[in-house]
């Protein structure tokens, strides 16, 4: 089903239950604690939905998905279920650890900004590169094009610098001007170092064209969620408790795989009635 050009994506989807109103609300040490009839669930923020509230009571399903970069086909490999109020950033390393324990070769993970490898610890531990769209709150260094991350040496430089590589916590750039192209070449440092951040200068910088393609293909992670919800019935959660819903999600993933293997989703081309040409001729 999947070819040889595989990268991985991480995303999540909410699984709402019917416990809209808490049974009790307590304030303990300044923290508001809500207790619902589904004791494992909690209230968290939903992704932008035009026709729904920004809050959801239930769970989030965090999933590592394998994506074929050539065909765009994708399939969920590992999922972790947690209450909806747990932040996405807690699950990136867990998903990668489980994948490696299973023998899945993970090299590049494209994900939402919430799954960012903030301190680089995941790369140091596993060697895996995590790329996310530039975070809107990250400040852009001086003399960097805010549209595509192109780097210039100083405010009077008009020639984009050439990427030279990355060390533990800095990207290195060098002058790319040809002889006679830049009048300031003899008086400028001809090199520049920029610290790693959550914006344009992650472990793989944003100006690398293939990285922008990886960000675009991340949207394919959403398709398995749509199939899980609408084809295997996860849109409505009919059981309660984290353990029971985890089992339900597992069977849904297995069902999705079997449907793929059986090819039941492939529709045969509609056969035209041989009488239609006769009707046209008669008309």
Specify whether 53 is located in the same domain as 85.
yes
Domain-ending residue, one of 177, 196, 215: 196
Specify whether 163 is located in the same domain as 213.
no
Domain-ending residue, one of 178, 196, 214: 196
- As a residue count, the chain comes to 283
Q: Do 134 and 199 form a contact (C-beta atoms < 8 A)?
A: yes
Residue 259: Cβ within 10 Å count: 14
- Name residues whose C-beta falls within 8 Å of residue 38's C-beta, 6 or more positions apart in sequence: 17, 19, 58, 240, 241
Specify whether 129 is located in the same domain as 243.
yes
Assign 80 to helix, strand or coil: strand
Specify whether 179 is located in the same domain as 201.
no
pTM of the predicted structure, to 2 decimals: 0.80
Q: Do 177 and 146 form a contact (C-beta atoms < 8 A)?
A: no
110 phi/psi in degrees, rounded to 5: -105, 130
Specify whether 129 is located in the same domain as 144.
no
Q: Give the number of domains in the chain.
A: 2
* Residue 78, domain extent: 6-138+197-262
Each residue's pLDDT expressed in tens, for the chain with a length of 283 residues = 445 678 899 999 999 888 878 888 888 888 888 888 888 888 888 876 666 778 888 999 999 999 888 888 888 889 999 999 998 989 999 999 999 999 999 999 999 888 888 778 888 898 899 999 988 888 899 999 988 889 998 888 888 989 999 888 899 999 888 877 887 877 788 889 999 998 899 999 998 888 888 888 888 888 888 888 888 888 888 888 899 999 999 998 888 888 877 764 555 656 655 554 544 444 4
Nearest to 215 by CA among 133, 148, 146: 133
Instruction: Indicate which CATH number applies to the domain containing 255.
Output: 3.30.420.10
């Amino acid at each position: 089903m999947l070819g040889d050009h595989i990268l991985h994506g991480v995303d999540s989807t909410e699984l709402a239950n019917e416990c809209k109103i808490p049974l009790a609300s307590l304030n303990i040490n300044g923290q508001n604690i809500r207790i619902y009839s589904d004791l494992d669930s909690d209230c968290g923020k939903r992704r932008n939905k035009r026709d729904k509230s920004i809050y959801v009571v239930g769970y989030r399903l965090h999933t590592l998905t394998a994506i074929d970069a050539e065909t765009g086909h994708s399939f969920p490999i590992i999922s972790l279920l947690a209450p909806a109020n747990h932040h996405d950033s807690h699950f990136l390393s867990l998903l990668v650890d489980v994948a490696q324990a299973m023998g899945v070769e993970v090299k590049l993970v494209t994900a939402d900004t919430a799954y960012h490898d903030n301190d680089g610890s995941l790369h140091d531990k596993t060697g895996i590169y995590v790329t996310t769209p530039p975070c809107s709150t990250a400040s852009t260094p001086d003399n960097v094009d805010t549209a595509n991350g192109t780097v210039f040496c100083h405010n009077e430089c008009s020639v984009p610098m050439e990427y030279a590589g990355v060390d533990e916590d800095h990207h290195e750039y060098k002058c790319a001007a040809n002889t006679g192209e830049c009048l300031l070449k003899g008086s400028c440092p001809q090199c520049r170092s920029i610290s790693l951040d959550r914006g344009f200068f992650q472990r793989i910088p944003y100006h690398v064209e293939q990285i922008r393609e990886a960000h675009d293909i991340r949207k394919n992670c959403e398709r398995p969620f749509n199939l899980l919800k609408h084809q295997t019935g996860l849109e409505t959660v009919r059981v309660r408790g984290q353990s029971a819903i985890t089992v339900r999600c597992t069977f849904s993933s297995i069902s999705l795989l079997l449907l793929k293997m059986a090819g039941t989703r492939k529709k045969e081309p509609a056969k035209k009635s041989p009488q239609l040409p006769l009707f046209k001729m008669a008309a």
